[in-house]
Amino acid sequence: MNIRAAILIRDNQPRWRLVSQARLLAIYSLMFLAFGISGCSFGGNQTSEEQRQRDEKTREEAATATERAKPEIEAAGRALGRAAEAAAEDAHAAAEGIKDGWKQRNHESLDLNSAGEKELSGLPGVSPTQARRIVRHRPYYSTRDLVTKGILSEAGYKNIQDDIVVR
């Protein structure tokens, strides 16, 4: 499924389209103002009064254009804000989903006091020899006993600590 097609806001408009429209509107408004302000005087034989009047007219036209564009720019800003909020909510939901998926297990935790060597050697990083040693050093009162009894290193223990329990 296309990401853009999946992320829609209330108006059923894709977010990327609203952002593009807002950017284009801002660019066109700025270009209009820039051309209106800078491109008015090409004649060199003008008096200072004519220049002043033309400058005043340009300022008024720029102010009018800005006033007309302001509601559209504000609406585009609000739409962009809604899109940003929705994107943040989507990102948060995705992060929570990843976190939940990371915590889920496909198997039940193994009890160190009752699991067989074959089950124990199926744990990540546990060799058949280590599994035999785990069985031989029973009973366990804490999963941490694997380290304190010298059966596994700290790194080996961290590898399996979420997959084992003591009952």
Q: Residue 14, preceding bond cis, omega within 30 degrees?
A: no
Give the Cβ contact number of residue 116 at 10 Å.
11
Fold of 110-165: DNA polymerase; domain 1 (1.10.150)
Give the Cβ contact number of residue 154 at 10 Å.
9
Share of the chain above pLDDT 90, in %: 37
> What does the pLDDT average to over 42-56?
79
Q: Are 112 and 136 in contact (CB under 8 A)?
A: no
Give the Cβ contact number of residue 127 at 10 Å.
12
- Dump pLDDT digits (tens) for 115-126: 999 999 989 889
More confident residue, 3 or 83: 83
Q: Are 79 and 22 in contact (CB under 8 A)?
A: yes
How remote is the C-alpha of 165 from its chain's centroid? 35
Torsion angles phi and psi, residue 14, rounded to 5: -60, 145
Distance CA 63, CA 148 (A): 78
The per-residue pLDDT for 102 is 59
Distance CA 161, CA 87 (A): 36
DSSP-assigned states of every residue in 28-92:
HHHHHHHHHHHSS---SS--HHHHHHHHHHHHHHHHHHHHHHHHHHHHHHHHHHHHHHHHHHHHH
Per-residue pLDDT at 6 exceeds 50: no
Parse the chain into domains and list their residue ranges: 3-103, 110-165
Which has the minimum average pLDDT: 69-78, 84-93, 98-107, 126-135? 98-107
